[in-house]
Amino acid sequence: MGNHGVASARLRAGKTSQHARESALANFRSRRPLTLRDWPVSWRLIAVIVMALVIGLVFGGLRIYSAEDSAAQFGRVSKLAELGERVTILVQDLQSERDRTLGVIAGGDLNALRPLYDTTDTEAARVQALAVGVDGSFPANIQASVAAVLSQISTKGLGTLRETAQGQGSDVLGVIADYATPIGEMITLNDEIAQGTSDASLANDVRTLNSLALAKDTAAQQRALLYNAFTQQFFGDGVVQTLTAVQSEEFADEAAFESTATQAERSAFSTTVNGPGVNKAEVIEDFFFVDGGDQQPLNTDTINPSSIGFTLAQAPTIWYQAMTQKLDEMQTVEQGIAGNIVARAHSLERGAQQSALITTIITAIVLSLVLVAALLMARSLVRPLRRLREGALDIATMQLPERVRLLGEAQDPATSLDVAPIDVLSADEIGQVARAFDQVHAEAVRLAGNEAMLRNSFNAMFVNLSRRSQSLIERLARMIDSLEQNEADPDRLSNLFSMDHLVTRMRRNSENLLLLAGHESARKWSEAVPLADVARAAT
């Protein structure tokens, strides 16, 4: 058996052992449950990345949801603000309709109310169109308020209201009470515009608008009550007391307006609500409630045109025009505040939408960066590990056995002991493991080289011993053959044959040394041998 045969046998034994180890490891893993520590590294890294992304998506989603919810909330506020802006106009129309009704039922033509009814109906239709946007996403109390307003300003509701007011006759306070319901519902709705928001400026403007709306309504009630009294030329039951009460309420509401209004709003009110109509209305109120109070009768004897500037016959028109101018000026300020509320609501809605968009973009960018960074980090770990695994398996199953075979066949094993390092050049723990495995590989090759050198030394020793003994054995065999040819004594010839047999066995032992050293037998037959010689030699 030569060096190649020995190396091949060892290689087959190594591969058999490797396959046995892999088979045993596979059987062990198939029997045990797949626990976390048995997961591939790539699975673990993917699990960590997925968990991080899920957590980021959850928190980012919550932040986006909060921003979207704020945008939706401010969107609802914007719709309410737009609705409230139209409601203030409708309130003014209802007040004008109510106040004119109190003058007409005292003895006028009811057909004079038709233009006011048409104006109110037109504005009511606009409010109804805007109220459609108040859906189930709004709070229940706001939906209820809108439903109540829509019920009051529907065609049936307004028709019933007008019929009831026209049938009141001389019941002035009854008409005021009839119109107080829809007007109060609308003022209440406007007071709920800022519900659910945390913006202080918006909430303050809503309170200011509500105070001014209440002040304007009490002023309109004064216009209605005095207009009716001037038309009938007497105060009805409880009218003076009601006038005094609503006048006090107006002062209180204006004080509330002053306390919540901004400097610009207060300046706009003092500048706008300051026309000749306001002055004329104050003169009339002072004449009847300061100078005379409820004892001042309404007749031509007590009303001196020179002292008040008009006669009793002129009083209804002058009073109504003066108070209408005041109310129009108050509505101008009211519309300005309502416009500010609409603008603020739109601004908050746009800000919330931009915040939601920015939050979405930032969340997407951050998650993308985290994903890219995590993938890069995972790649920087997994790829070296895979190269290390592939290199280690290649060394264990291919390179090292082949190198051992080549070292066994090489004449000088010491000249080829260098090993190629595994293709992992990083300085981290993976690179350190690769360098450690390179050292193990180099040590295994060095030991294999030393083993080959030792084996070559033994082989050379066996060859030297075999060759030295073979020369002596050949000489001894020739001497025995010579003696056999010249010997006639059968006993001595038998002894010579025995000696020749021993010499043949010694030759075979010497040839065995050559075989152990990896050499072939030196005795080779190059020519055919007669069968008789073979039989004789065997005998």
For the residues 194-207, what does the mean pLDDT come to?
89
CA 472/CA 520 separation, integer angstroms = 19
- The C-alpha angle with vertex 322 and arms to 87 and 304, in degrees rounded to 5, equals 150
Record the pTM: 0.69
What three-state secondary structure class fits 85?
Answer: helix
Q: Higher confidence at residue 447 or residue 28?
A: 447
Contact partners, residue 41, CB within 8 Å, separation at least 6: 381, 382, 385
Give just the sign of the alpha carbon dihedral 189, 190, 191, 193. Answer: positive
Say which DSSP state 420 is in: P
Provide the residue type at 86 as one letter. Answer: R
Pairwise pLDDT comparison (446 vs 310), residue with the higher score? 446
Nearest to 105 by CA among 178, 172, 179: 172
Instruction: Look over the chain and give the mean of its residue pLDDT values, rounded to a whole number.
Output: 82
Q: What is the DSSP letter of 309?
A: S
Q: How far from chain centre, in Å, is Cα 204?
A: 34
pLDDT at position 295 is 38
Mean pLDDT, range 209-218, rounded to an integer: 94
Residue 187 · residue 145 · CB < 8 Å: no
Closest-CA residue to 246 (of 219, 209, 213) = 219
Rounded distance between C-alpha atoms, residue 204 and residue 208, angstroms: 6
Per the CB < 8 A criterion, the answer to whether 71 and 356 are in contact is yes
Amino acid letter, 248: S
Over residues 119-176, the pLDDT tens digits come to 999 999 999 999 998 888 888 999 999 999 999 999 999 999 999 988 877 788 999 9
pLDDT at position 526, please?
67
Given the structure tokens 């038998």, which residue do they identify? 494
The half-sphere exposure of 377 on its side-chain side, counting CA atoms within 13 A, is: 11
Burial code (b: 16+ CB inside 10 Å, e: under 16) for 407-433 equals bbebeebeeeeebeebebeeeeebeeb
Cα distance between residue 162 and residue 276, in whole Å? 32
What pLDDT score does 471 carry? 80
CA 101 vs CA 113, 216, 281, 294: distances in Å: 7, 18, 20, 24
pLDDT (0 to 100) of residue 308: 66
3-state DSSP assignment of residue 421: coil
